[in-house]
Structure 1
Amino acid sequence: MSLFKNILLKRRTLKILSDTPLEITLSEELNKDIEEMITLAGKAPFHYPANASSLKNHTLKSLAPWRFYILNTKACRDLAKYYTDNNIEGGKIIQMLHSATALIQATWIPEPSENKELEFNQKNIEHIAATSAAIQNLLLAATEKEFENYWSSGGTLRNDDFKKLLHIPTSEQLLGSIFLFKDINTENTKQVTGAWRNKQGENKDYSSFINI
């Protein structure tokens, strides 16, 4: 079996939940692993560059429509504490922040609209597709490096207050909160696998050869 095929088959969704903060893990190796994962995520294709006016005052100047904001283990624990200190309902988000090795906030940059409402025009759909491809690259790279991972929709982390806290422009749209877990003591944790794993059916259920 090829390495790529093996990684594809091995990738899975896994949430690791803890009611109390686990030990903080910080190392140069962890930083290097995350840098490499982000580099591979950035190899995803994109059809349209990010809007020039949106990039004008942005600190991150890539033409790609995606952005990644990285929280290391300490930042995850600090964010969990922010939730509890401010009595913010976070549910499983807090439990994952208690155990995560890292959290990566993956956003996309929408095209500006005259009425300031988010429009699902062709360019924005392409931006979402490109960012999704980058996230998939990230998940596969994490799997190759033995990180368990969970692609969350973000819950309360989608709110503008949290974007400001994490230095994310409020104009950007969160497409995924990517929780990464590695080398942690899972003795007093709860582990939850993805509800839809292996339920997509067979090829014949989602693909068809067309004759004209």
Structure 2
Amino acid sequence: MSIQNIIHKRRTLKVLSAEPKPILKTEVSITDLEEMVTCAGKAPFHYPANNEAIEHTELKSLAPWRFYILDTKTCRDLAKYYIDNNIDGGKIVQMLHTASALIQATWIPEPLDNGKIEFHQKNIEHVAATSAAIQNLLLVATEKGYETYWSSGGTLRENNFKELLNIPTNEQLLGSIFIFSDDNIKNTKQITGAWREKQGSIKDFSSFVTI
């Protein structure tokens, strides 16, 4: 399949279930997940991650993105954590009941003394680079036959969940990427992306420039 065909085929799909789906032998493989994240890491980035920000963290890449990978069992365990602790996760829990994997994609802000994040040019570049990495991941998942949903994360953005998943609290969640295999999509509620095919044609978002 050509890269253009993969881009056109990629779509957003929420796969929801009130009850946890069984863990099947046909779930996403570790090899597939590693290939998705490896290709994500081939995205371009303009500025390296801040040395001070990563000095005391386990992951030392100069890239401004990080990926934290949850396999099928961990997805089900996380759903149970929500339920056992009476945390309202909304559709997050229903997707964790069906997901073959969840990848938490974060970016590393430039540190500030006041603890706040300022969207100066360097941080904007970090977000753009991490977004490009996520798109790489989504395209490889599509090429491998998986459905995906890029969520903003909801409650998974909160520090208690970062700590639970061993994510440094200074990192900012840009996407909770749910990966669904065909077998776990059966007998579920499915919701496609609200904005698919609504971006208009090329004439609506581009123009040739002359001087």
Counterpart code for 1:54: A
Counterpart code for 1:132: S
Counterpart code for 1:154: G
Stretches of structure 2 lacking an aligned partner (at least 5 in a row): none
Q: Distance in 1 between matches of 2:150 and 2:166?
A: 21
Per the alignment, residue 196 of structure 2 pairs with 197
Counterpart code for 1:32: T
Contact 1:25 / 1:101 at 8 angstroms: preserved in 2? no
Aligned residues: 211
Per the alignment, residue 73 of structure 2 pairs with 74
When residues 28 and 204 of structure 1 are mapped into structure 2, their CA distance, relative to the original with a 3 A threshold, is closer
Q: Deviations over 1:19-56 (max 9, x none)?
A: 00001146797000000010000000000000011121
* Residues 1:109 and 2:108 are matched in the alignment: yes
Counterpart code for 2:86: N
* Residues 1:151 and 2:150 are matched in the alignment: yes
Q: Distance in 1 between matches of 2:37 and 2:113?
A: 33
Contact 1:26 / 1:73 at 8 angstroms: preserved in 2? no
Runs of 4+ displaced beyond 2 Å: 25-29, 183-188
* Residues 1:9 and 2:23 are matched in the alignment: no
The CA deviation at 1:113 is 1.0
Q: Deviations over 1:92-118 (max 9, x none)?
A: 000000000000000000001122111
Stretches of structure 1 lacking an aligned partner (at least 5 in a row): none
Q: TM-score, normalised by structure 2?
A: 0.97
* Residues 1:182 and 2:181 are matched in the alignment: yes
Q: TM-score, normalised by structure 1?
A: 0.96
Contact 1:108 / 1:172 at 8 angstroms: preserved in 2? yes
Question: What secondary structure sits across from 2:117 in the alignment?
Answer: coil
Contact 1:151 / 1:176 at 8 angstroms: preserved in 2? yes
Per the alignment, residue 122 of structure 1 pairs with 121
When residues 28 and 139 of structure 1 are mapped into structure 2, their CA distance, relative to the original with a 3 A threshold, is closer
Q: Distance in 2 between matches of 1:155 and 1:28?
A: 25
When residues 26 and 187 of structure 1 are mapped into structure 2, their CA distance, relative to the original with a 3 A threshold, is closer
The CA deviation at 1:208 is 1.1
- Sequence identity, in percent? 69
